[in-house]
Amino acid sequence: MSETPVKQQSTAAFHGQAVASFAVAMAATAVGIVRLDADAWVRGFLAIAVLYLVTSAFTLAKVIRDRQEAGQIVSRVDQARLEKLLAEHDPFEKL
């Protein structure tokens, strides 16, 4: 018998909280940049830097998640091979 691990999914409330938190953070940053007492090119540079930081964070999170999922797949394949070997092994077989 092989036990299939249960895939953990976040709740709708957690997903909503994460989206709301992201939206509030981006809005607060945008307001801060717009209200900054600096030239337009400085505010533009900061806005582009923030967007670059956000896209880089999303990319990093995806790469980490993909690497973790790949590790889980390899682990499941290795576990299935081991279970097959154990199922086929007869300790009482005469050599």
pTM for the whole structure: 0.61
- Give the C-alpha distances (Å, rounded to integers) separating 92 from 1, 4, 6, 16: 21, 29, 35, 57
Number of independent structural domains in the chain: 1
Tell me whether residue 1 is in a domain: no
Domain that holds residue 47: 12-88
Tell me whether residue 39 is in a domain: yes
Tell me whether residue 46 is in a domain: yes
Tell me whether residue 79 is in a domain: yes
Tell me whether residue 3 is in a domain: no
Tell me whether residue 6 is in a domain: no
Residue pLDDT, tens place only, 58-87:
999 999 988 888 777 767 777 778 888 878
- Residues in Cβ contact with 43 at an 8 Å cutoff, skipping those fewer than 6 apart: 33, 34, 36
Tell me whether residue 17 is in a domain: yes
